[in-house]
Amino acid sequence: MTRFTFYDLVQPLYPLVDVFLAPQKRRMFEEIRDFAPGVLLEIGAGNGSHRQCLGTTTTLGLDLSRRMLQQARRRNPPTFLAVLGDGLCLPLAQASVDAVALSHVASVVADPGKLVSECLRVLRPGGRLWVLNHFTPDSCLGWFDRLVRPLGPILGLKTLFKVEDLPGLEAFTPLSDQTLGAFSYYRLLSFSKP
């Protein structure tokens, strides 16, 4: 796959975005560390930042962006295996991973429902799914998301994004739902595969 993606273009600027995402990502990785998966699949792993607490957990860091993956590979131990691929068509067998992490990728992919069904397919029974994302709240930030909605295609994401936009989650057992960040703009959801 040699396609040059939007995230290849913005990769040098991504650390600026990371400043806002760091605290929530650290929280997610701490929860994953406590679960201690044998194999973690991180879909849309991006530049692989803020995952130090995972230590040497074997991680398949899958992303469409070659440049983001190059940076992720540089900053992580060899147990981080960079995989150039599409989260909507995972190159993995059924029930082959213990945990899946979706950090700020659910609102970026073209078909969030397909992303969820791929997570369900590759997770083993009892495996865990974490979804970290902005979810449009009912507060004034909801208006902000609506206002900037036309910028979505330029920014490569859906600004207006609700949990209902992730169909298929009902196949999982919900474990936790935490609101994080200023104005509770971010949510960290976790699930178990029955």
Query: Quick one: 126 or 156, whose CB is closer to ligand SAM?
Result: 156
62 binds ligand SAM (CB under 6 A): yes
Question: 52: helix, coil or strand?
Answer: helix
72 binds ligand SAM (CB under 6 A): no
Size of the site for ligand SAM (CB under 6 A): 21
Angle 50-121-134 (CA atoms, 0-180°, nearest 5)? 40
60 binds ligand SAM (CB under 6 A): no
Amino acid at 77: P
Residues ≥6 apart with Cβ < 8 Å to 75: 47, 48, 49
106 binds ligand SAM (CB under 6 A): no
Tell me the DSSP string of 125-168: EEEEEEEEEE---SSHHHHHHHHTGGGHHHHTS-SS--GGGSTT
Instruction: Choose, by CB under 6 A, the member of 31, 63, 118, 145 that binds ligand SAM.
Output: 63
Query: Quick one: 25 or 193, whose CB is closer to ligand SAM?
Result: 25
Query: Quick one: 134 or 193, whose CB is closer to ligand SAM?
Result: 134
118 binds ligand SAM (CB under 6 A): no
Query: β-strands 123-134, 97-103: how paired?
Result: parallel
Angle 108-135-160 (CA atoms, 0-180°, nearest 5)? 65
86 binds ligand SAM (CB under 6 A): yes
Q: Which residue stretches of the chain are H helix?
A: 6-10, 14-35, 66-75, 112-122, 140-147, 152-155
Cα 155 to Cα 99: distance, rounded to the nearest angstrom:
28
CB of 194 to ligand SAM, least distance (A): 25
54 binds ligand SAM (CB under 6 A): no
Contact region with ligand SAM (CB under 6 A), list: 33-41, 51-59, 85-93, 163-171: 85-93
61 binds ligand SAM (CB under 6 A): no
User: Which 9-48 residues touch ligand SAM, going by CB under 6 A?
Assistant: 21, 25, 43-46
Cα 96 to Cα 103: distance, rounded to the nearest angstrom:
20
Q: Applying CB under 6 A, which residues contact ligand SAM?
A: 5, 7, 21, 25, 43-46, 62-65, 68, 86-88, 103-105, 108-109
